Structure 1
Amino acid sequence: MPAKKKKTSPIRPRPASLRAGSDISALPPHPTSPRAGEVRRRGTKHKDIVYAFIDSQNLNLGTKKDIIRHGKKIYHGWQLNFKKFRIYLQSKFHVSKALLFIGYISENRELYSELKSFGYELVFKETVKDSFGKPKGNIDAELVLHSATVEYKNYDKAVIVSGDGDFACLHRFLEGNNELHKVIIPNKKSMSKLLRPFDKYKIYIEDDRGFLENKKGRRALI
């Protein structure tokens, strides 16, 4: 097999983690996470290394929020089991590293530790409160930054978990470099029309609900 051409990042590298204060840096890293600065070898025979980049809000709300149109409920929300979802990514798509992009709220430290114990690597976005006091933190820029720059040299194929059309440009970039593996859609009924060109990559979480759903009576994680 000929040596694989070395990847070069199209964007100037930035710090590998975005932190929102000392509380975040105090969280213990997941034991399976690669060491800081570790870069895998290129130009040798190997199975594709697959990373998943997960829009946590789109994944969470996309599965659990009811959708009502013209007074009729067209989608009944359900609770995703995040532990099973990590297993699903590994077993079905061979994802070795799953980066979960999430807004940081100090009261949720226990939640973050639990997600880490499931095998996710968390990338935090600082949050601000809106006029109603509700925390807001858009992770789109962080997800694009990490997939196209920070982690770009470390994987062969990317799985993007989101139905947000803002990532269409990222999909085009990855597809153009033969690096887009799958686009996992949390909700077919609310996904953006901008993702239509990527139908051949799409996987719908609803199709695997039987395995991924949090069973009744169990505590919801998010």
Structure 2
Amino acid sequence: MSTLNNEQHKLLNLANKISLFSSVIGAGISAISGQVVYAVVPLSFAIVLLNDSNRRRFEWLQQTRQNYQSAVADVEQHSPELENLKAAYTQPDPMPQKYLTKTHLTPIISKMHQLQHQLKIIELGEIQTLTQQVKEQQELLENLDASTEALHDRTRNWEQWQQQLAEVQQALKIEVFSRTIPPSLVAIPATAKSPYRSQKERVAIFVDDANLYHAASSLGIKIDYTHLLSLLKAKSSVCQVFLYTGVEPTNKKQKSFLSWLRRQGYRIVSKEVVRRADGSKKANLDVELSLDLVNLANSYDTAVLVSGDGDFTFPVKSVQSRGKRVEVVSFGSRTSDALLKVADSYLDLETIIDQIC
């Protein structure tokens, strides 16, 4: 079809050219002859215009045909969709749905009420069970608290009994050692002892570290043990220094401090600290100090007891009965009156705080 249109278009163009050419020739002949000038020239132009009009008409028809063919092709392309739309519009409406009425809903609502009632019954039963269990647990806790309190009371009583037993044991040991003094070491009258220490005397210093530390702490004082040792020796030529203290195996700072004390000349007598049930700590070395004070009496002339504890009153009397001098050094406000009465001399550290800090 497209080939035919092209051929027709060519023929029209050829006819248009021939008409134009013939019109031009006719116009020329008419002009030469001068006879038919007014007839031939308008006719020639009319023929030209007619051919041109026919050509334009043909082109418009050809364009219209092409548009028609394109529209037909589009319709054929969308034909399935049109068929579906047509089927959708021509399909009859479905049957209307049936709605639930009160007659249908009544048994359902009744069943829901029954289920809610049963659920409330179950919840109430569970609440009662849980309440009973809570009461039982509370009773068990109350019984446990009572048992714990009774156990604490027994523990406190046991600690008191242990302390009393330790005091009795200490008194018995001191009594035993006092009775084992050789007969040759009889008591020397007090008038035979000088109240002052000479440089040639052998001196033994016994430091009750726990008593000294707590007394100083209560007064807000920190003792310099180097200055204290220099003061206690008092230029004595022969001197032994014993320091009795409790130790904590895991306390590295304390271990370092005790090592430093050893380098300064202290001999450390220690016992591991015992932690009590109430959280307090204690390491009682009164027995060890008392025994050393009595047993070492032959190795010294003067004993310097650095403590204000009245428990040392009896051991002091024991070594005094052997002719030994006993000097007591402590903080006066923290010293037993009984110990002050038996001391051959006494030094109150509160009067020389500037020399020991």
Q: TM-score, normalised by structure 2?
A: 0.42
**Pairing 1:132–2:285 present:** no
**2:318 maps to which of 173, 185, 203:** 173
**Pairing 1:99–2:242 present:** yes
**Number of residue equivalences:** 160
**Pairing 1:197–2:341 present:** yes
**2:202 maps to which of 43, 46, 49:** 49
Q: Which position in structure 1 is the counterpart of 2:332?
A: 188
Measure how far apart 1:134 and its partner are. 3.2
Measure how far apart 1:153 and its partner are. 2.6
Structure 1 residues 169 and 121 mapped into 2: Cα distance closer, same or farther (>3 Å)?
A: same
Contact in 1 for aligned 2:308/2:335 (Cα 8 Å): yes
Which amino acid letter does the alignment assign opposite residue 152 of structure 1? A
User: Within 5 Å, which residues of 2 pair with 1:109-128?
Assistant: 109-128=255-274
Q: Which position in structure 2 is the counterpart of 1:141?
A: 287
Structure 1 residues 95 and 60 mapped into 2: Cα distance closer, same or farther (>3 Å)?
A: farther
- Larger relative contact order, structure 1 or 2 (CA cutoff 8 Å, min sep 6): 1
Contact in 1 for aligned 2:205/2:305 (Cα 8 Å): yes
Measure how far apart 1:180 and its partner are. 2.3
Which amino acid letter does the alignment assign opposite residue 285 of structure 2? I
Deviations 1:79-116 (A, max 9, x none): 11111111111236666111000012111211210111
Q: Which position in structure 2 is the counterpart of 1:58?
A: 211
**1:78 maps to which of 221, 225, 228:** 221
Moved >2 Å (runs of 4+): 9-12, 91-95, 132-135
Identify, as 1 or 2, the structure richer in strand. 1
User: Within 5 Å, which residues of 2 pair with 1:23-38?
Assistant: none
Contact in 1 for aligned 2:202/2:236 (Cα 8 Å): no
Tell me the secondary structure at the aligned position of residue 234 of structure 2. Answer: helix
Q: Which sections of structure 1, spanning at least 5 residues, go unmatched? A: 1-8, 13-45, 67-76, 214-222
Distance of 1:100 and 1:48 partners within structure 2: 20
Distance of 1:176 and 1:11 partners within structure 2: 12
Contact in 2 for aligned 1:64/1:80 (Cα 8 Å): no
Distance of 1:153 and 1:165 partners within structure 2: 23
Which amino acid letter does the alignment assign opposite residue 203 of structure 2? V
Q: Which sections of structure 2, spanning at least 5 residues, go unmatched? A: 1-176, 181-198
Measure how far apart 1:199 and its partner are. 5.4
Distance of 1:112 and 1:141 partners within structure 2: 21
Q: Mean alpha-carbon deviation: is it higher for 132-141 or for 98-107? A: 132-141
Contact in 2 for aligned 1:182/1:201 (Cα 8 Å): yes
Measure how far apart 1:159 and its partner are. 0.8
Distance of 2:288 and 2:269 partners within structure 1: 8
Report which of the two structures shows the higher radius of gyration computed on alpha carbons: 2
Aligned Cα RMSD in Å? 2.3
**Pairing 1:207–2:336 present:** no
Structure 1 residues 11 and 94 mapped into 2: Cα distance closer, same or farther (>3 Å)?
A: farther
Which amino acid letter does the alignment assign opposite residue 158 of structure 1? A
Tell me the secondary structure at the aligned position of residue 145 of structure 1. Answer: helix
Deviations 1:48-82 (A, max 9, x none): 2100011001111112214xxxxxxxxxx211111
Tell me the secondary structure at the aligned position of residue 178 of structure 1. Answer: coil
Tell me the secondary structure at the aligned position of residue 352 of structure 2. Answer: helix
Distance of 1:95 and 1:212 partners within structure 2: 22
Identify, as 1 or 2, the structure richer in helix. 2
Which amino acid letter does the alignment assign opposite residue 142 of structure 1? E
Contact in 2 for aligned 1:98/1:119 (Cα 8 Å): yes
Tell me the secondary structure at the aligned position of residue 189 of structure 1. Answer: helix
Distance of 1:195 and 1:90 partners within structure 2: 21
Contact in 1 for aligned 2:293/2:319 (Cα 8 Å): no
Distance of 1:180 and 1:200 partners within structure 2: 6
Structure 1 residues 87 and 11 mapped into 2: Cα distance closer, same or farther (>3 Å)?
A: farther
Distance of 2:263 and 2:324 partners within structure 1: 28
